[in-house]
Amino acid sequence: MYLLYALIATTLLSGTALFLTRSYWLPSVQNLFSYLPFGTDYFYTNLPNSFEGDIESGLSSANFDLAGNVADGDGRAGLDDKAKREILRIMKRRRLNFDEARRVYMEQRFAAAGIGADGRPRDPKFVSFS
């Protein structure tokens, strides 16, 4: 009987401690699940398929204005789906606005392609005449 009471008390104390400290450990758990194929960002991601939808999703700003495309009646499908998904993920995870998330996305793409933050290749054999 005492074992049951001890188990209930331990569960309640652990649950309370986890609830009160969730702001510390929850981002780590979300980052852990984001690397799995069934992570938190995988399900229910409905990407917009037009420039109007991109604007409504927050994928537009004063520096990257899509309103001109909408006003001109542009019939294209909107922005690149892969880039939209990644930028929305960055905006959600890092709590950045669209311009900052787009900058982070481009820096990641440059780094993957071997281009430095200053725009020059990171190849040690690169020679530039300026």
Percent residues over pLDDT 70 in the chain: 72
Q: How many Cα atoms are found within 13 Å in the side-chain-facing hemisphere of 94?
A: 16
Average pLDDT score, the chain: 78
The angle that helices 22-34 and 81-94 make with each other, rounded to 10 degrees, is 160
pTM of the predicted structure, to 2 decimals: 0.55
Q: CA 105, 106, 109, 111: dihedral to nearest 10 degrees?
A: -110
How many other CB atoms are found less than 10 A from the CB of residue 91?
20
pLDDT for res 8: 95
